[in-house]
Structure 1
Amino acid sequence: MSASKRLVVCGGSGFLGSRICKYAVQRGWDVTSISRSGQPKWETVTSSASPPSWAHKVSWERADILRPATYGPLLKTADYVVHSMGILLEADYKGVVSGRESPITGLRKAFGPVDPDRGIKRPLDQKAGEEVLTPPNPADQFTYEIMNRDSAVMLAKQAAAEDTKAFAFISAAAGAPILPSRYITTKREAEQTIASEFPRMRGIFMRPPFMYDSSRKFTLPVAAMAGAGNLFNTVTRGVFGGFMGAAATKPLPVETVAQAVVEALEDENVKGPVEVPQIEELAKKSWRKNML
């Protein structure tokens, strides 16, 4: 067991975030999850509707990532902070799932002309205590700039103010051709800003590929296609790699990425972008520790 550390995971109720919490608990860390829902709806992130045995060791807190005043106090004394949230399409994905919003609306928002910043001040331009990322129209909050970039920069700003040792941002592997370029460019902008503006805090930028798990059946065929794309890219020696983007990147089990995140936080030598091969190595290192 590692010495007790305090970890805060923003997005800890999600597909990846919940598993990061799990592996941190296994190390005996004090773990706090921050999300709008508090505790996850377990049937959406695991194969069971019942909380797993480790869940009672996590403090499941409700807060709004777009309003730092709601989560700022939870960051005090945190050794590590993780930003594990973002969007694939500029739509209210929960609204799409529930039927309140059409998937076509999300596609139109993603590929149509937009005002990406919606008139909101960037996090570094906002004064302490006055930070807020909520646009006048709540529907406008689901943009790549706000969800994938500014929310991460804002969280890093708050973490740095609390002298957090390490900050892990869940970025992404090179973008796939089916997604707008702004999906990946906003991720990279977040990485660059966090690294340059908060140099005293060890920034870790995980770049996972498509993640899958048997608890989410729809991820399995997608992972199979991504795996085929990776094999094709290997056979052709990367001739089409630039075009295929993430579609040519080997998919990983979400458990592998979660293990790697926790290992990266504890390993003081890990800093900056973490690509797929290193993610796999970190996960193996974590697995060996758990076997001892």
Structure 2
Amino acid sequence: MACVVHDVSQHLLLVVGGTGYVGSNILQRAVQKGITVRSLNRGGRPAWDNTPWLDKVEWFKGDVFSKDDLQKAVAGTTGVISTVGAFGSNEHMQRFCGDATIAAVRAAKEAGTERFVFISESRVGSNIPKWAPLYGYFNGKERAEAAVRAHFPDTGVSLRPGFVYGTRRVHVNNTDLFLPLGLLGAPLALAGRGVRPLVLFNWI
């Protein structure tokens, strides 16, 4: 069996939404593997304490809905990962779970990026009714998946994990706080046992 060795030094990875729980852990792992990484998010470089890997990320402070910001962020990239998502009203969820990634997909395609990965959700495609409280969340992600398939039919992938939970780091008033997402995620995921898998990442 042939062994294929990838030269990571030839890659530039952009993570859209890189300060969230999933995005920040992807960045950290990429840095550890020696991959050149960049992040586009609203706040730019986070002010986390004792986190030396942050210095190895190229931080872009910008708006995913700004075509100019997106064009600058995707320029020269070989791969893009979108971890953008949010809860709220259906309109809000459609915008951040769908439109944000769709915009990133189009910008990456125009820039000649080779690969695109979207972090979706395990229930996407299960015909969530429009009256359901989280319809905008699931439908937004479904639309984003469709954009990935359309623009990156051979080199794009949408991952559908179950409820991802662990400990998220946030910086408030010059202090690092660690939010145990499992307090919410674990009970919700257990309540849906048999419907979707549980995913526990303890990366930070």
- TM-score by length of structure 2 reads 0.78
Structure 1 residue ranges without an equivalent (≥5): 43-49, 91-109, 111-115, 117-142, 234-247, 259-292
Which residue among 140, 143, 165 is the counterpart of 2:114? Answer: 165
Structure 2 residue ranges without an equivalent (≥5): 169-177
Taking the aligned partners of 1:82 and 1:28, their CA distance within structure 2 comes to: 17
Q: Which amino acid aligns with 1:163?
A: G
Aligned partner of residue 21 in structure 2, secondary structure: coil
Larger relative strand fraction: 2
Question: CA contact under 8 A between 2:86 and 2:97: conserved in structure 1?
Answer: yes
Q: Which structure has the greater CA radius of gyration? A: 1
Corresponding residue number in structure 2 for 1:251: 198
Corresponding residue number in structure 2 for 1:213: 166
Query: Hey, which bits of structure 1, 4+ residues long, moved more than 6 A?
Result: 175-178
Is 1:30 the equivalent of 2:40? no
Taking the aligned partners of 1:189 and 1:227, their CA distance within structure 2 comes to: 24
Taking the aligned partners of 1:144 and 1:35, their CA distance within structure 2 comes to: 17
Aligned partner of residue 71 in structure 1, secondary structure: helix
User: Matches of residues 71-220 of structure 1 in structure 2 within 5 Å?
Assistant: 71-90=70-89, 110=90, 116=91, 143-174=92-123, 179-199=133-153, 202-215=155-168, 216-220=178-182
Q: 1:19 to 1:2 in 2, by over 3 A?
A: farther
- 1:255 positional shift: 4.9
- 1:41 positional shift: 4.5
- 1:153 positional shift: 1.1
Q: Which amino acid aligns with 1:161?
A: E
- 1:51 positional shift: 4.1
Which residue among 218, 222, 225 is the counterpart of 2:187? Answer: 225
Taking the aligned partners of 2:157 and 2:86, their CA distance within structure 1 comes to: 20
Larger relative helix fraction: 1
Q: Deviations over 1:91-131 (max 9, x none)?
A: xxxxxxxxxxxxxxxxxxx4xxxxx5xxxxxxxxxxxxxxx
- 1:32 positional shift: 0.5
Aligned residues: 184
Taking the aligned partners of 2:121 and 2:93, their CA distance within structure 1 comes to: 13
Q: 1:203 to 1:53 in 2, by over 3 A?
A: same
Question: CA contact under 8 A between 1:226 and 1:249: conserved in structure 2?
Answer: no
- 1:218 positional shift: 4.0
Corresponding residue number in structure 1 for 2:17: 11
Of all paired residues, the percent bearing the same amino acid is: 25
